[in-house]
Amino acid sequence: MDGQAVKRVVIAGGGTAGWTVAAALAKNLGSLLEISLVESDAIGTVGVGESTIPTARRFHELLGIDERSFVCATQASFKLGIAFEDWAKIGDRYFHAFGVTGQSTWLADFHHVWLQAREQGLAGEFGDYCLELQAAEAGKFEGGKGSRLNYAYHLDASAYGRFLRAFAEPLGVRRIEGKIAQVDLASDTGFIEALVLESAERVAGDLFIDCTGFRGLLIEEALATGYEDWTHWLPTDSALAVQTEATGPARPYTRAIARPAGWQWQIPLQKRVGNGLVFCSRYLSDDEAHAQLARQIEGAMLTDPRLIRFRAGTRRKAWNRNCIAIGLASGFVEPLESTSIHLIMIAVTRLMQLFPFGGISEALISRYNEVSRRELESIRDFIVLHYHLNERDEEFWRECRTMDIPDTLAERLALFRDAGHAYQAADELFRTDSWVQVMLGQRLSPRGHHAMGRLMRPEQLSAALANIAANIDAAVARLPQHQTFLDRFCGHPSG
């Protein structure tokens, strides 16, 4: 299709992935394209991706989405990070906060100074110097344009899909109801020509976006792209999800609680709580998982627990011929750091930047796939990090501790262990602060660090850290409680 203009875009599948793609394309490229979305009311969506990271706010700004309208429509709450409980060792607790910790310079990142101060007995906890962490622990929050906080959202994924549909359809997206019965391929090129529905309606297009979930109806069943399995690094393969009544004010953070064969999530929304247990089926049966989750949730169940199977890994190509897989159809690295919705958003952003208006070429496909894979591999490494660095004594955790890990992660861990250095490469999602918080939280203590802190006299170093902490304490004291802000933001009566 090199040189053949691309105008007709067909999105297979709705849900969060399909409607995110439709909304972004219609808002930013709508006058240049004809966008159709095929979905069936008879096919459910996974719909448990209830947590985001701060990149969602930037994406909404690109689309011109009003934050208040979004938060109220999706029953969202605000998120300042993730509390990890019992991960490295039972009884441990640490926080991956979304903000910047301390004050870094061109010479060295803040954690090097903190490590020097800790060596001299002058430092508090690492989290004492992060505004978002301290606000989260105090249950405080304030959003809006003037907010100093770096934050994300907890949301109802099904409601989010409906919200995006209501946003996209007035921009010209044509929704076609029906199940896909067949994918027609061109005999000469192997490109997709059309989707044929059970009704016999034929939906032709130039570019097809596969948002059909784990099944990968276009990218895999039609195009046989292939899947690279990562379960030897990420052995969890199952999740139970259930909604419960709220038992108290919504916390402005996600809880991730390590369990003997996986971990449990707790995500507070405005009127309910999302819960789930991610586990490895080799170490925990479905019945045992149901019993474990039932024992450990708080509040009455509003839904029956739903079992979801998955396999960590990635399609060998996210873009193959004239088909691009986005969302679960492109791969999955498990929900620990809430990256699924981000990966949808960044995928459609990348597509808009590399859109093949003049025709699909191997150069465009190669660039898209290269950048997509590099980002996904760095996310994979970040998640493997949480599992690999542990001192727990259950069989599942011993396997994670002793498994071979990707060379890219091994190099990072060696760099931090030996010299305290962490970094964020150009195409990576997670910041230096994120790597440092998790490595320290998982009990990786550097043997060395940059000596910049020794340039300050002990009293200067102590005073500088105390000043940072005092400014954060004062800022947190001025913030309203998260639940109070949320009620006011969406016009709910207080109390």
pLDDT digits (tens, 9 = 90+) for 309-322: 999 999 999 999 99
Question: With 80 as the cut, is the pLDDT of residue 46 above it?
Answer: no
Q: What is the mean pLDDT of residues 416-440?
A: 95
pLDDT of residue 491: 86
Report pLDDT for 49.
55
339 has pLDDT over 50: yes
Q: What's the pLDDT at 495?
A: 44
Whether 208 and 323 have beta carbons less than 8 Å apart is answered as yes
- Place 196 in a pLDDT band, splitting at 50, 70 and 90: very high
**pLDDT confidence of residue 493:** 60
Instruction: Output 164 or 425, whichever has higher pLDDT.
Output: 164
CA angle at 168 for the pair 165 and 170, rounded to the nearest 5° = 110
pLDDT digits (tens, 9 = 90+) for 77-106: 999 999 999 999 999 999 999 999 999 999
Q: Quick one: what percent of the chain has pLDDT higher than 70? A: 98
CATH number assigned to the domain with residue range 8-50+156-232+312-360, chosen from the 4 options 3.40.50.720, 3.40.50.620, 3.50.50.60, 1.10.3720.10: 3.50.50.60
Find the mean pLDDT for residues 440-468: 95
> Model confidence at 426, in pLDDT bands (50, 70, 90)?
confident
> d(Cα 106, Cα 258) in Å, to the nearest integer?
36
Tell me what percent of the residues of the chain surpass a pLDDT of 90. Answer: 94
Residues 7, 27, 79, 145: which is the catalytic one? 79
Mean pLDDT to the nearest integer, 242-264: 96
Domain boundaries, the chain: 8-50+156-232+312-360, 81-140+378-478, 238-309
Q: What is the pLDDT of residue 117?
A: 96
- The pLDDT of 436-449, averaged and rounded, is 97
pLDDT at 45: 62
Say whether pLDDT at 169 is over 70: yes
pLDDT at 145 (0 to 100):
80
Say yes or no to pLDDT of 175 above 70.
yes
pLDDT digits (tens, 9 = 90+) for 122-135: 999 999 999 999 99
Given this model, what pLDDT does residue 485 score?
Answer: 96
What's this model's pTM, rounded to 2 decimal places? 0.95
Q: Which residues contact 33 (CB under 8 A, 6 or more apart)?
A: 7, 8, 9, 25, 26
Is 79 a catalytic site residue?
Answer: yes
Residue 2 has pLDDT above 60, yes or no: no
